[in-house]
Amino acid sequence: MLSLDPPIPGFTTWDAEGHGFGFAGATVNERVRGRVKKNLITAVIERAEAERLLQIVAQKVPVPHLTFWIEPVERFGRLQPLKPTRTNPLDRETCQ
């Protein structure tokens, strides 16, 4: 997502386990455990940007059983301002 033009400004990824979509592509280990490895990506972006991102993913990374949802975010922010870093000039701009 960082290689897109323009890049997605920030997102979070984490490992997850999926249940209930069948095991056609599951490994032996996943079949024994009864769940398959999944990855989740969360990004707070404008609705139009979300639609653009979904189109790009569908074209470039045709993932079977890819699931997504879009929901409104009423508020987004930080409890304390970030301190700028020396390595990333964008951090300095964001914190001013």
Domain ranges, residue 27: 12-95
**Helices vs strands, H then E, count in the chain:** 3, 2
Cite the DSSP H helix spans in 5-96.
28-33, 47-60, 89-95
Task: Evaluate if residue 21 carries a pLDDT over 70.
Answer: no
The token pair that represents 7 in the structure block = 């890049």
CA trace torsion 48, 53, 79, 81 (10° rounding): -100
Instruction: Give domain status of residue 4, yes or no.
Output: no
Instruction: Give domain status of residue 79, yes or no.
Output: yes
Task: Evaluate if residue 3 carries a pLDDT over 90.
Answer: no
Instruction: Give domain status of residue 86, yes or no.
Output: yes
Residue with tokens 């033009």: 5
Sign of CA dihedral 51, 53, 54, 55: positive
User: How many distinct structural domains can be found in the chain?
Assistant: 1
Tens digit of each residue's pLDDT (9 = 90 or more) over 54-87: 998 888 887 777 888 999 999 888 888 877 776 6
